[in-house]
Amino acid sequence: MTAQQDTLRFTFERYCDMIEGLQEAGRSFVGYDDEMESGDVLLRHDVDWSPANAERMAQLEANRGVSSTYFFLLTSPFYNLSYEANREAVSTILELGHDIGLHFSTHQYWSAEPDREELESAVQTERTVLSTLFDEEISTVSFHIPPEWVLRRSFDPFQSTYEERYFSDIAYRGDSNQRWRSDPPFADGIPEKVQILAHPGLWNDTDQLFEERLDAERRNHFADVSSFLEYQFVDDAVAR
C-alpha cells in the first residue's frame, strides 16, 4: 500500500471526516443554480456504477445537513434507472434534499468531436429522458471521462460542470480512480471557492484499492444479473 492510500482511505468514515472538516472551517455547500460566494463548496457525485452507494452517501450527507448533486448515466451497462431498485435509490436521494443531473458519456456516441448541434441534441435527448423518469428539471450536465473538447466550454441549452466558472475560475478537487488531483485534497488549505467531485462507487465501509473496487463491482453485477435471471425466468417459468 502506498503512502497516499495509507493516508487517504476511501471509506465512508473518512469521507464524513472531510465533509465535517469543511463545515468546521465555516464552508457552505451550494448547488449549480446558486451564485458562488467566498467560502462556498460545490459538491458533486458522478455515479459511474452504483446507485446504491450513491444513496448511502446521500444519506450520510443529509445527516450532516449537506446537500450535493448526483449525476446519473443513461448509457451505463451497470445500471438501468428504470429498474425499480435504482428508481427508488434516486427518489430517495431527491427526498433527502439533493439535486440530480445528467452524467453524459460522449464515448457512447462519438470517437471524435462532433458538431456542436449534434452534441447538444444528444444531450437534450438524455436530459428529457432523465427529467421524465423523475419529474425533475435537469439543467446541469457532467461529462463522463470528459474529452478535451468539452473542458472549459459553455453550452447554451445547459450548464456543464466543466465550464470555466466551475473548473478553471475556482479550485477543483476530484477523486477519479481513487487519486485526488491534490494529495491530500486540502494539503495547502481549503480554497476560497471549490468544486469537489467524489465518485460514490469508490467509497465504502472498508478500504480497498481501486482495482479491488472494480473487481468487487464485477462480482456484484454478475450476482445481480444471476438473481434477476433466476427470479424472472426460472422461478417464474416454474410458477407458470
CATH code of the domain in which 81 resides: 3.20.20
Q: What is the pLDDT of residues 34-50, one digit of tens each?
A: 999 999 999 999 999 99
Q: How far apart are CA 80 and CA 194, in angstroms?
A: 31
Can you give the chain as a three-state secondary structure string?
A: CCHHHHHCCCEHHHHHHHHHHHHHCCCEEECCCCCCCCCEEEEEEEECCCHHHHHHHHHHHHHCCCCCEEEEECCCCCCCCCCHHHHHHHHHHHHCCCEEEEEECHHHCCCCCCCHHHHHHHHHHHHHHHHHHHCCCCCEEEECCCCHHHCCCCCCCCEECCCHHHHCCCEEEECHHHCCCCCCCCCCCCCCCEEEECCHHHCECCCCCHHHHHHHHHHHHHHHHHHHHHHHHHHHHHHC
Output the CA torsion sign for 12, 13, 16, 22.
negative
**Pair 150, 215 in one domain:** no
Average pLDDT over residues 130-142: 98
Tell me, what's the pLDDT at 82? 96
Domain boundaries, position 126: 3-207
29 & 142 share domain: yes
The yes-or-no verdict on residue 206 having pLDDT over 80 is yes
Whole-number Å distance between alpha carbons of 21 and 100 = 24
Indicate if the pLDDT at residue 135 is higher than 70: yes
Residues 107 and 30 in one domain: yes
For 112, other C-beta atoms within 10 Å of its C-beta total 7
Distance between CA atoms of 103 and 125, rounded to whole angstroms?
13
Q: Could you give the percent of the chain with pLDDT greater than 90?
A: 75
pLDDT at 211: 84
Q: What is the mean pLDDT of residues 153-173?
A: 97
- Answer yes or no: do 226 and 190 share one domain: no
DSSP lists the bridge partners of residue 99 as 69
Q: In whole angstroms, how far apart are CA 154 and each of 120, 131, 236?
A: 11, 21, 50
- 73 shares its domain with 146: yes
Same domain membership, residue 89 and residue 146 = yes
Instruction: Flag the least confident range among 22-31, 48-57, 142-151, 222-231.
Output: 222-231
Let me know whether 221 and 196 are in one domain: no
Number of domains into which the chain is organized: 2
**Beta strands at 159-160 and 140-143: parallel, antiparallel or unpaired:** parallel
Asked whether residue 134 falls in the same domain as residue 231, the answer is no
Report the mean per-residue pLDDT for the chain: 91
> Before 185, cis peptide (omega within 30)?
no
Average pLDDT over residues 2-24: 80
Instruction: Using the predicted structure, report yes or no on whether residue 122 has a pLDDT greater than 80.
Output: yes
Task: Indicate the pLDDT class of residue 220, thresholds 50, 70 and 90.
Answer: confident
83 and 106 housed in the same domain: yes
Q: Do both 138 and 218 map to the same domain? A: no
Is residue 142 domain-shared with residue 217, that is, in the same domain?
A: no
Q: Each residue of 167-197: pLDDT tens digit?
A: 999 999 999 888 887 767 898 899 999 999 9
Instruction: Write the pLDDT tens digit of every residue in 226-240.
Output: 776 776 776 655 555
What is the amino acid identity at position 12? F
